[in-house]
Chain A
């Protein structure tokens, strides 16, 4: 069974640009969540999608958005990039998002904003 796949693995952008990151969950998983990991702020929750609907959102500005497709694949978009958006973006999936469910993480997309 394939794990959570995130593409691309690395990305370099400049300030003001926008970026789209992709996440393919484990087959059969319908809940996809996104996290930002930085040395200064640690791991922070961005948002969670289930059946194409955003169920939960963290404390990030509106420049961060996401969506989920009918096949449960998800994308997140960051517009008007800032230097502080440089981070490892992690996607995770589970069956339905229940608290006792095992959450599987991808290897992440390392975004560098210059």
Chain B
């Protein structure tokens, strides 16, 4: 079955760039997503990338997709304390059926 793996923790200093990595096994995914979850809140869609793209940039966020290696990454430029949260990558398995990774807890040190 599908498997989506992420490292559990990442700490960065405020102002530095953060890179969160994700590997997946299902090569048929059309879209891949990045979600953010803050304490006590639901998930917020940050960005997504179509599977035939290599890169997508959206303000401070850059998504890189390597289909050959089934590797997805999210880069956050100029990381702020408000970026501290859990970040999930996900791919689609059907209508609104997302398969989520384990989540990476990002801690931004002032």
**Interface bracket on A:** 20 to 34
Residues of B with Cβ closer than 8 Å to A? Answer: 30-31, 40-45, 48, 50, 88, 90, 92-103
Interface check A15, CB cutoff 8 A: no
The distance from the CB of A14 to the nearest CB of chain B, in whole angstroms, is 24
Q: Which single residue of chain B is at the shortest CB-CB distance from A41? A: B102
Q: Which of B45, B96, B102 contacts A42 (CB 8 A)?
A: B102
Residues in A whose Cβ lies below 8 Å from that of B97 = 33, 45, 48, 56, 58
Decide: A55 and B43 in contact? CB cutoff 8 A.
no
Decide: B42 and A56 in contact? CB cutoff 8 A.
no
Interface check A76, CB cutoff 8 A: no
Q: Which single residue of chain B is at the shortest CB-CB distance from A45? A: B97
Main secondary structure of the interface of A (DSSP, over half): strand
The distance from the CB of B15 to the nearest CB of chain A, in whole angstroms, is 29
Decide: A107 and B92 in contact? CB cutoff 8 A.
no
Residues in B whose Cβ lies below 8 Å from that of A108 = 42
Bound Cα distance A112, B96 (Å): 26
Bound Cα distance A35, B102 (Å): 14
Known: A42-B102, A100-B31. A4 touches B42 (CB 8 A): yes
